[in-house]
Structure formats: C-alpha cells, structure tokens
Amino acid sequence: MSGSLPFDPIDEARRQWQKHWGASPTPSMVAVTSIMRVEQILTARLNALLKPWDLTFPRYEALMLLYYSRNGSLPLGKMGARLQVHPTSITNTIDGLQKLGYVERTRHEDDRRKWLASITERGREVAVEATEVINNARFGTQPLRRAQLQDLFEILRDLRADEDAFDAG
C-alpha cells in the first residue's frame, strides 16, 4: 500500500494506548506494532525485487540455503529446521521451486523415507542474479543507514536468542 498519510498511525495508536491503558505497556506496543509493519514493508519490497524470477522471499531463502550447502542438496526436514518453518511450509516452498525448475526433489539415498531438495544449474544462476539485485537494493532497507541496521540486529538478537535458545554472546 502506498500513499501519503497526514500522521504516523503507530504514533496515533501510542496516543490512544496511553489514554486508555496508561504509559507502562506503551513502549512494548509501539515496538511490536512497528516491527510488524516493517515486516510487511520489507516483505513487499523483497517480493517485488524477486518477481522477475517468480520468487518470494521464502523461496529465495530456501534457494540460497541450497546454494550454500556443501553438495547443493539437503533433506527437507533439515531445511525446515534451518529456516525455522513448519514442515508443510518447506514442502510448499520446495514444490514452488521445483515447478520453476530451480530445484529437484529426490529420495535420500541412505534413508528412502526422506526427501532431498537439490538446486539445479538454473537455480544456481537465479540465486546469483537475484542476490545481486537484492544486494544492490540493500535488502529493501532504505533509508536506514549501516550503523542503524547493525544496531537493529543487536537489539533484536536478544529476543531471538530467548526464543530460539542460542547464545547471543
């Protein structure tokens, strides 16, 4: 959605929140609401950048995971765990990439119950092309500066570490 608003809707939500609920929960509400809105903005920007290859950002992430893997292939279960998505989501993502010719699905040679996703040569080409476009667009993060992005990463790391149980250092 594009267009000009005469006010910041989240700031207005802050004002209303304080009026009805008091000041103490307000920083949490505006932070979460801002993060959710930024997620919408970034998803739309990234999906627009990836549209020439019929990719969405989740498909791009899965493609890049395969691109960086040692053999160009991974079990679907491992991919889902690394991308932190439900098994159904990774199956749908791989289905989409397979229809585009970017990935092939094969049975695991050691365990026929498991499926492997393998990046194709065309998938490798697309990964490089799409990454160049995304990098040039700074992953859609304009107008934020490098230091702001690093600060944001550091700030959000603690919340992610709390949920995902990794050492935030």
| Rounded Cα–Cα distance for residues 68 and 139 (Å) | 18
pLDDT for 37: 96
Whole-model pTM: value is 0.86
Write down the domain spans for the chain. 1-52, 54-136, 141-169
CA diameter of the chain: 62
**What percent of the chain is predicted at pLDDT more than 70?**
98
Domain 54-136, CATH: 1.10.10.10
The overall average pLDDT reported for the chain is: 92
pLDDT digits (tens, 9 = 90+) for 85-120: 999 999 999 999 999 999 999 887 777 778 899 999
Which residues does 42 contact at the CB level (< 8 Å), separation at least 6?
Answer: 139, 140, 141
Nearest CA among 89, 79, 104 for reference residue 56? 89
* Relative orientation angle of helices 76-83 and 57-68, to the nearest 10 degrees: 120
